[in-house]
Structure 1
Amino acid sequence: MNNKIEFMASIPQIQSAINTGNDGMRVKFDIPESDIGQAVRLIMLRGKAFKVTIEEVE
């Protein structure tokens, strides 16, 4: 089973998109409807640590 989750996303242009605090950082993503099937798999990772890789696309 492939545990890799991939989807397109962007950081919204709102002030609350990136928040920093004493315990780290919180980032919000906008995900297109076409990629929700993959992104919803993140729910299974709630409370777990995981690796994030960001790759810019044109």
Structure 2
Amino acid sequence: MKDGPVSRAQGRFTIVTDGEIATNNSEDGTSPHALGKQVHWEVGPGSSKIPEALVRLQ
């Protein structure tokens, strides 16, 4: 068990980028967006994953 406060975050965390999304741990992966690509995660107090993505920028 981790020490520290429990997160009370609730909602959707979204990254929108025109960079290359090399990796991510979202359930749905990437999807098209008017500005490039997007990836999102649903987060809540019971979430066991921390949203992670690696974006290559030029």
TM over 0.5: no
TM-score class, shorter-chain normalisation, is under 0.3
Higher percent of residues as strand: 2
More helix by percentage: 1
| TM value normalised by structure 1 | 0.22
TM-score using structure 2 length: 0.22
Name the structure, 1 or 2, with higher relative contact order (CA <8 Å, separation 6+).
Answer: 2
